[in-house]
Amino acid sequence: MAPPQAPAANGGAAGHGGIVNVNGGGVDDGGMAPSEVESNGAGRGHNGVGNSNGVDGGAAAPSVAVNGNGKKRGERRTRKTKKKPAVSPKDKYWTPIDDDEAAKAVEDGGEDGRRPLLFRTYRVKGILLHPYRLLTLLRLIAIILFFIWRIRHPHADGMWLWWISMVGDFWFGVTWLLNQVAKLNPIKRVPDLALLKQQFDDLPDGNSNLPRLDVFINTVDPINEPMIYTMNSILSILAVDYPVDRTATYLSDDGGSIIHYEGLLETANFAAMWVPFCRKHTIEPRAPESYFAVKSRPYMGNAPDEFADDHRRMSREYDEFKVRLDALFTKIPERSDAYNAEAKDGAKATWMADGTQWPGTWFDPAENHKKGQHAGILKVMLNHPGDEPQFGAPASAANTLDFSAVDVRLPMLVYISREKNSGYDHQKKAGAMNVQLRVSALLTNAPFIINFDGDHYVNNSLAFRAAMCFMLDRRDGDNTAFVQFPQRFDDVDPTDRYCNHNRVFFDATLLGLNGIQGPSYVGTGCMFRRIAVYGIDPPRWRSDDFKIVDNTDKFGKSMPFINSIPSAANQEWSMTSPPADEESIKEELDNVMKCAYEAGTEFGKEIGWVYNIATEDVVTGFRVHRTGWRSMYCRIEPDAFRGTAPINLTERLYQILRWSGGSLEMFFSHCPLLAGRRLNFMQRIAYTNMTAYPISSVFLVFYLLFPVIWIFRGEFYIQKPFPTYVLYLVIVIVMTELIGMVEIKWAGLTLLDWIRNEQFYIIGATAVYPLATLHIVLKLVFRGKGVSFKLTAKQATSTVNEKYAEMYIVQWAPLLIPTIVVIAVNVGAIGAAIGKAIVGGWSLLQMADASLGLVFNAWILLLIYPFALGIMGRWSKRPYLLFIFFLIAFVIVAGVVVAIHVARTGSVRFHFRHSGGASFPTSWGF
């Protein structure tokens, strides 16, 4: 797939040492295209501010070695050329709607607490928005007329089939409407990073007033989630462009693995070189695995003479770092074997480097040292760095990297593995994040939290600042609970065969929700306001006598934790982390990590991440919206965060099974239609659509399998007169595609994005959604468990020659069978039609009727095409083989039909009738 053109590609980039043109562009001297952030992460503001340093588009960019607080040593000025960049296809159909408000904000000058606007708001231009809404209305009218016609003409070859198709078509119409109405007012909001820096960083004392931020990372298995990804994520976070003394990173290892612990030690040591290197040369991205994979990149730093040598040195250091990580898998067992040989009790313990037994999971499980049963562990790997910058040492024989002008401080880093006990339900990822919530409250208590999966990293070092633009904006910032970024992925095949990027959802649906109460929470790359996660009401819904903590019992028995809650509501809270080794704080930290802590509390219900549901992210966001908070969607260039997607077909289907099953669980347990008055009506509609969509598969499977009926019967119609029925279907389908074409324009998508979305919906509707629906039915009837959580295995780093090797591996599983059956039925239908055409003596009218019907069979095979390639394994490297297989199958089935006819009649005649009604059984449709 050819990805959409990045906005910064033709616009140039402003670096700390001057201009580096990407494609000959210059720096804009005013005006801002939506979603435009330069290749160094800087955005162009409405008042002509052109880069992340807050320098006007026509001025020179200062040369600085960035430290954690945005301080600088030495300045130089370079000349800039003013040139307006080309408008990206993503942005040319958007227009600002807050010009007047922005102008007044500039006039206010920040006086009387009226800060400048920290983001700009855009809507789709009328040239696209009005036709988009008109087409939606016309399609709705067509659907209504279609149903009126069908009710007045209840004629079919089987009324039971007519009733099924009526109910199915009605459901399809309702779900389409639920999906479409939520996208009728798409809104794009673009952060102004220059004004944020000007307001919060460019202070007389050189410090920063940006709020504190806690970062949560979750991992559980160093095999299914390769440790190199997790450690790259941590390195990118430690190197992010945010005040170093105002961030803290918490890694939750839910497997209690010493591999993760010692891997984090190695990462902390390597970060002492990597983070200053990133700051000195202003590199992007700041995850070394991704950075070194790029062959060339515009230089953005202020020491070009030193860059080549520094780059070679860091590349060698990173290679050695990866070797040390890999060696842990053999080093730790060897060390443990040596200690165990000396031990007198004969226990096969896992030993730490300091000669003590690892308190978590052992390689050879033992009582209190196995998965699901071990003590809680908390280790502060990097302490709070303090407020004052610490510049590094100059180059020497022992250290060839010159960090004398760079702040070498590192943010706080903490390892957590909560207590596990076989007598408790630990609630998987949601339970781990709630423990992080309490532990971080006792150590740093930042008013804002951002969470990542272990395989996601910071791709744009200014991403945290971009989210803060929405949280701190004077308009509705105080009522914003979370800022959701889109999910982007590396190492997906160029054609995105399995729709891993899911761009229709992230670049169209979420922009639509942005115009209502805000996007849904989708699990990773999301910044939260801490008190919103605590279930506290937003300011707009608070009464005069409102209390932050109205009932201490629902938060548990830890008074230090309860006392931290009011402080978390203060955005200017700047507590210095207490030493985690103090006896009093150690006791409280151990307490809040215990399995029994949440008994009798509201954790997992009204506080923290929600329990007992596979999609804890969506239902948690829903609960926050239901309380009255709103959310914001932030799409910047370069992408804020990137991750690793499952490119194996079976793993991808298991991922969708968890999502669809969890969505249905939410629909029946937290019905959006019954939410309180604080949830916007259109937001209810959107959540209903996001949770009930798998039910459509029940009817869709009927449609896809209908051809098996007429293969044996010879004639079957679900609606008569058939030509009129087909005419309505063609009108409805064509209008759907026209709406999609308009949506592609304003969402900045490609035609391939749209096709992949339709293809994988059909694949999910045949392979996954019916199974998810069955799970929920069994859960409701027998009160059993819903869809179980299965960790999605990610692809490990592969060689260049086999970059997408995993995509060609076939992992057979029962959920592949339904789609294979659908393929077989539709292939059989086409083959049977060919055979009957040979021996049936059809008229030309019948042939035309048959051809019209077979279009639907061919269309289904086209939609399931990626699945068919997936089950071909390595043969799918040559897609033309699939068409050859289909042709062979058509010939074989047609031959069988002819043979059966010969066996029955003793002969076969090839002829056409000159007249006769249409009798070929074209029985399928949508």
CA distance readout (Å), 691 to 579, 646, 694, 791:
44, 23, 8, 21
- Please report how the helices 696-705 and 751-767 are oriented relative to each other, as an axis angle in degrees rounded to 10: 90
Q: Which two tokens stand for residue 759?
A: 């293809």
Give me the residue label for tokens 């062979």.
888
Q: Which two tokens stand for residue 751?
A: 């035609």
Q: Is 388 annotated as a binding residue?
A: no
Task: Please say whether the beta carbons of 920 and 836 come within 8 A.
Answer: yes
Give me the residue label for tokens 């997992």.
604
Task: Please say whether the beta carbons of 644 and 229 come within 8 A.
Answer: yes
Measure the CA–CA gap between 744 and 93, rounded to whole angstroms: 11
**Phi, psi (5° rounding) for residue 832?**
-65, -35
- β pairing state of 187-191 and 373-374: unpaired
CA distance readout (Å), 313 to 276, 327, 535, 536, 884:
13, 21, 49, 50, 52
Measure the CA–CA gap between 651 and 467, rounded to whole angstroms: 32
Q: Is 429 annotated as a binding residue?
A: yes
- β pairing state of 448-453 and 369-370: unpaired
253's enclosing H/E stretch is: strand 247-253
Give me the residue label for tokens 């008074």.
559
Q: Per the residue annotation, which of 241, 253, 254, 473 is the catalytic one? A: 254
SS3 899: helix
- β pairing state of 412-417 and 377-382: antiparallel
Q: First and final CA of the chain: distance in angstroms?
A: 28
Task: List, edge to edge, every strand of the sheet that includes 119-124.
Answer: 94-96, 119-124, 187-191
Measure the CA–CA gap between 238 and 248, rounded to whole angstroms: 9
Of 803, 805, 783, 806, whose CA–CA distance to 793 is shortest? 806
SS3 13: strand
Measure the CA–CA gap between 63 and 902, rounded to whole angstroms: 87
Measure the CA–CA gap between 97 and 125, rounded to whole angstroms: 10
CA distance readout (Å), 205 to 69, 326, 493, 661:
11, 45, 49, 54
Task: Please say whether the beta carbons of 482 and 528 come within 8 A.
Answer: yes
Active-site annotation holds for 254: yes
- β pairing state of 630-633 and 480-484: parallel
Give me the residue label for tokens 């460019």.
202
Measure the CA–CA gap between 610 and 621, rounded to whole angstroms: 9
Of 28, 30, 122, 146, whose CA–CA distance to 725 is shortest? 146
552's enclosing H/E stretch is: none
Active-site annotation holds for 545: no
Of 237, 289, 234, 225, whose CA–CA distance to 265 is shortest? 234
Of 517, 766, 587, 773, whose CA–CA distance to 665 is shortest? 773
803's enclosing H/E stretch is: none
Q: Is 407 annotated as a binding residue?
A: no
Measure the CA–CA gap between 148 and 140, rounded to whole angstroms: 12
Q: Is 594 annotated as a binding residue?
A: no
Question: What is residue 191's DSSP assignment?
Answer: E
Q: Per the residue annotation, which of 192, 537, 617, 639 is the catalytic one? A: 617
Q: Which two tokens stand for residue 492?
A: 């997906």
Measure the CA–CA gap between 551 and 573, rounded to whole angstroms: 23
Measure the CA–CA gap between 854 and 847, rounded to whole angstroms: 10
Of 637, 528, 797, 611, whose CA–CA distance to 191 is shortest? 637
Q: Is 637 annotated as a binding residue?
A: no
Task: Please say whether the beta carbons of 275 and 408 come within 8 A.
Answer: yes
Active site residues: 254, 617
Binding site per annotation, positions for Mn(2+): 429, 453
Binding site per annotation, positions: 225, 254, 428-429, 453
Binding site per annotation, positions for UDP-alpha-D-glucose: 225, 254, 428
